[in-house]
């Protein structure tokens, strides 16, 4: 099993969710997060004063999947979240040692 984390632009969330539904992903966790990468934030003007926004709003998606679905999920997220502009985000794939469904006690692939 793997845990896939994707940091994407907020307006791409619905497209990514739909793409994941199409390949059979039934559950995701979404968090609103802030951060920056190479883009290092940006400058905005508010009431005539200029100020720096260091942390850019992003969305973090977490998906637990069986090993055989990793390539499909990564491909779907990468394809739908891409705008071709700086700040499109990142995808991280990590090993997932165990998953347990609290309600039934199922473990492993059955729990996800």
| DSSP string across 95-112 | E----B-TTT--BGGGG-
Residue pLDDT, tens place only, 44-77: 666 777 767 778 899 999 999 999 999 999 999 9
Three-state SS annotation for 16-83: HHHHHHHCCCCCCEEEEEEECCCCCCEEEEECCEEEEECCEEEEEEEEEECHHHHHHHHHHHHHHHCC
Lowest mean pLDDT among 45-59, 72-86, 93-107: 45-59
Fold of the domain built from segment(s) 2-111: Alpha-Beta Plaits (3.30.70)
The DSSP letter of residue 87 is T
Reading the block at residue 73, the tokens are 């999920």
Beta bridge partners of 61: 6, 30
pTM: 0.85
The single residue listed with the structure tokens 């992903």 is 25
């Amino acid at each position: 099993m793997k845990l896939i984390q994707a940091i994407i632009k907020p307006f791409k969330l619905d497209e990514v969710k739909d793409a994941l539904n199409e390949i059979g992903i039934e559950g995701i966790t979404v968090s609103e997060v802030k951060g920056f990468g190479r883009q290092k934030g940006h400058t905005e003007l508010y009431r005539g004063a200029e100020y720096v926004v260091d942390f850019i709003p992003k969305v973090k998606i977490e998906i637990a999947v069986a090993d055989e679905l990793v390539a499909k999920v990564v491909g779907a997220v990468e394809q739908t979240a891409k705008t071709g502009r700086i700040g499109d985000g990142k995808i991280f794939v990590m090993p997932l040692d165990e998953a347990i469904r609290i309600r039934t006690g199922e473990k492993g692939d059955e729990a996800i």
